[in-house]
Chain A
């Protein structure tokens, strides 16, 4: 993954699109306020060591 350049402040642009990982109630409330929300059905890594999990994150990069 290529790192993104420094973005303009979210305070000046307002929130464009939210990605929600985890508890659904937060995503529900954001949608009810009219926000665009994409949900990620995150699951905990099963039976892999924490180091391997970090490595996966780096590979996703």
Chain B
């Protein structure tokens, strides 16, 4: 393999464009590795770690693009030329298209908007983390709410931004916020859900999607879904945005009930949250993954996303909450009886972090220790869950909700050692247009390799029938491929656990 490096000076593309170009190159014959980055110090360090010679890009800066390929000599130069042409061609098309970008700064954009008699009230920010505070602070000071998708924003920046937002009564959603709904407008990774009267506050993107979709599939709509970022309930951030969102939803006339989705808060923050809940007049359900279930005067605390959905639906529909572990026990028993389980441990390959965490909690309860995020655990015979959306898998690569191929590759590579495979599919805006397709292909490959010894594959689909990918269509494709599909992630995890403890061993 040759190592080819090319620097395109004084050119900027956002990370999604660059990762798309790299993924396209990597799919070509003869290419074993492909990377496309802006020349930041962190990105250059990644290339050095990947084994590319430092002197080939040492002069590149943050305003230059670096392209790096590990490629066979026969096709190397041709692939590199195509990558360069593809990027620069896309840039030219964008410049010449009807969508013209006039503004080089937030201030200039706001000036133009004001000249047209309009008022901007939301900034969507997806910049490299080190530049976020300056832009987000400027937006807040100009009276804009902020949705910050970027990760790698320093914690002290987040605290300063949220202090400023609270002072102004503005939302600072994120950093690392993937999903929000304000009114009917979905921001980031969102699903087609109806407008309604339930407000959701969530420290997790897929958690927010799972609860909103669960409510939608149960006949309820949402008023707003406010992402607060994964660190909001930490000791340092102190739930600043959760508390503001809670107050805003309590005052919002469209919102009749509130659901909070979170990881277990820091102990000091839990006290602050519990105290804040005493002042809320509307019913509140808190889905705090892993926490003990309890009912207080001010909130119902549950430990899974699906329980949050069920408790909220029951409350809205004036019925008792169902405590059944499966929506259709007869179908589960039938599936259990007809499925043959392999000898290995469970392998969970997830694209949604909150769904992975929820599955881990359920499986650990049923099966004992489950390794989380350890690539080698399966080979040691341990049950293993991998969150493929975690930072360790997404540096320089698209998130698996955008590009599901790396997960499909792992189904083939790791599936041979698994007794049961557990998967999630997350649909909606900005996600892959047909996420079941690579999974189905991977299952076919695995089946061709293992035949009867192919492990059972259990899955759930987070989405709605109205999503462009269509939840029923995705579920049908998985069922046709031989998967057992459960209505939600918690039920899928419980079913996978039952397969291992009660299933028919091969």
CB-nearest residue of chain A to B95: A41
Complexed CA–CA distance, A13 and B168 (Å): 16
Q: Tell me whether A46 and B63 are in contact in the complex, defined as CB-CB below 8 angstroms, given that A21-B126, A57-B137, A61-B141 are known contacts.
A: yes
Chain A, residues 1-39, CB within 8 Å of chain B (1/0): the string is: 101111101111111111111111111011001011011
Collect the chain A residues with CB atoms within 8 Å of residue B145's CB: 10
Q: Tell me whether A14 and B182 are in contact in the complex, defined as CB-CB below 8 angstroms, given that A3-B141, A9-B248, A19-B120 are known contacts.
A: yes
Q: Tell me whether A23 and B170 are in contact in the complex, defined as CB-CB below 8 angstroms, given that A14-B185, A15-B185 are known contacts.
A: no
Collect the chain A residues with CB atoms within 8 Å of residue B171's CB: 10
CB-nearest residue of chain B to A16: B121
Q: Tell me whether A53 and B134 are in contact in the complex, defined as CB-CB below 8 angstroms, given that A22-B14, A26-B430 are known contacts.
A: yes
A50 touches B130 (CB 8 A): yes
- The 9 A-B pairs with the shortest beta carbon distances in the complex, nearest first, are A4-B143, A22-B126, A14-B183, A57-B134, A46-B63, A23-B126, A44-B62, A41-B101, A17-B120
CB-based A-B contact count at 8 angstroms: 175
A25 touches B101 (CB 8 A): no
A40 touches B104 (CB 8 A): yes
A7 touches B430 (CB 8 A): no
A-B contact pairs, 24 of them (CB 8 A): A7-B169, A11-B224, A14-B183, A16-B119, A18-B124, A19-B106, A19-B122, A21-B106, A21-B127, A22-B14, A22-B150, A26-B187, A26-B430, A29-B186, A30-B124, A38-B103, A39-B103, A40-B101, A40-B103, A40-B104, A42-B104, A44-B63, A54-B134, A61-B138
CB-nearest residue of chain A to B14: A23
B109 touches A18 (CB 8 A): no
Give chain A nearest CB distance to B331 CB in angstroms. 36
Q: Tell me whether A45 and B62 are in contact in the complex, defined as CB-CB below 8 angstroms, given that A9-B169, A23-B126 are known contacts.
A: yes
A19 touches B139 (CB 8 A): yes
A38 touches B134 (CB 8 A): no
CB-nearest residue of chain A to B429: A29
B38 touches A15 (CB 8 A): no
Category for how many chain A residues contact B:
35 or more
Q: Is B12 an interface residue (CB 8 A)?
A: yes
Collect the chain A residues with CB atoms within 8 Å of residue B109's CB: 19, 38-40
Q: Tell me the chain B residues, 188-210 only, with Cβ under 8 Å from chain A.
A: 188
A21 touches B101 (CB 8 A): no
B118 touches A36 (CB 8 A): yes
CB-nearest residue of chain B to A42: B127
**Among A5, A17, A35, A57, contact of B119 (Cβ-Cβ < 8 Å):** A17
Q: Tell me whether A40 and B105 are in contact in the complex, defined as CB-CB below 8 angstroms, given that A7-B168, A15-B185 are known contacts.
A: yes
Give chain B nearest CB distance to A9 CB in angstroms. 5
Chain B, residues 106-139, CB within 8 Å of chain A (1/0): the string is: 1111101100001111111111101100110111
